[in-house]
Structures are given as structure tokens and as C-alpha cells.
Structure 1
Amino acid sequence: MTISIGGGLRNFAYPAGYTGPARNRPAGGAGEAGGASDLTRAIDDLMAEAAKTPAERARDAVLKRHGIDAKGYAALDASARKSIDAEIAEAVKRTTTRDRAEGGFSRMA
């Protein structure tokens, strides 16, 4: 006896009100034109994030918390930039202190 479920999955109905990312994707999955580029973009984003230093990640987190990017930061006046710089320095200090206390990567096994 052979059971085939592959064909039935194409007729899958999303629950009422579902607005997730798969809703707008064409049937067929990652083999379609958009699927491979989404995966490639996700891998590229992950690799870029992994290449950042803890200080760069702390800076990015502070800027994100303030709702600005590097261009927005450059456009700030001196006093606002000084305030954000102090917050970035504190975030970097917390990150490096925490990493030292936890032993950094040496604890990973």
C-alpha cells in the first residue's frame, strides 16, 4: 500500500486571519525563484552579524533603541551625539564585563 501526501499539501488552507510570511509566498516553497534568494539573504545577514565585534553589536543595539541608523547618528547635534556616545560606551562596558565574567567562548563545550 502506498500513501502519497505530497499533492494534498498544495491545497493547504491558512487559518482565517493568518498574515504570516508564507501567506504571500507562491506555492512550491524554496525551489521557487523567491525562496532561494530569501535563504541567501538570511545567510548573508547572519554572517554579517556574526562578523561584528561585541562593541559593534552594542553600538547597533543602542542606535536601534533610539530609532536611528548611522546616517541619523551623523546628523545629530553634538550634545545628542555625546549622550548617545556615553550610552554606547556603557553598553560596551557591560558587554565586555559580562563576557569576561562568563569566560567568553571558553565555556562553550
Structure 2
Amino acid sequence: MDNFKFFESNVTTELPVKYIDNSISILYEKIHLDNFRVYISRIVGIMHIKVPYLEEFYKRGEELLYIERLNIHNSVIMEENGMIEDILVSDGQIIMYGTPLLIVRICNH
């Protein structure tokens, strides 16, 4: 099963974003697994990943990556405290509207 089919069948609810930068760049979605969220692109552009890798704790408000569109950097910011479970795109990849970007597990440390 590819990522798009998986997300079509598992995304349950769009959650409101807390950061204005995210309102431009992403949709923040709840999936069937408790405490897991998925970031989905709202724009077309080139992906630039800023986080070193998975399995690291990130605080709410930290920049995870940005999407470059028309030489403008559109930041994607951590909405809640948690860990990145999977990065679904690669650095430098051209992404389209609706592309799943990452899966985050919410945890309060």
C-alpha cells in the first residue's frame, strides 16, 4: 500500500494549527492511532529537512523543515511536544499539494 492510500483510509480529523507559518504550509491531521499526527503539505514546492533524524524529542514551536516555494521559505513547525516517527519525503524532493510529510507521536515530557 502506498503512503497516499494509507493516509486516505487512516486520517480521521483535521486539527487546527497553532502557528501561523503552519497555516500556510501544512494540514495537521489526526490518524486512527492514538497520539499520532501526520503533517500534509498544503503547497507545492521543494522540501528542505532541518531535523537531524527520527526518534528525537522535539518541543512545540521548533522548526522541523521548510518548503521552498518561489524562493520563499515556508516553515513547518512542531505543533505539540513529541517525537518524529517517520519522515515520508526526502531533502530536495519536489512535493505536491496533499503530500504526506511526516508522522509525529505526541508525548508530554
* Greater strand proportion: 2
TM-score (norm 1): 0.20
Structure exhibiting the larger radius of gyration computed from Cα positions: 1
Question: Whose RCO is larger (CA < 8 A, sep 6+)?
Answer: 2
* Greater helix proportion: 1
TM-score (norm 2): 0.20
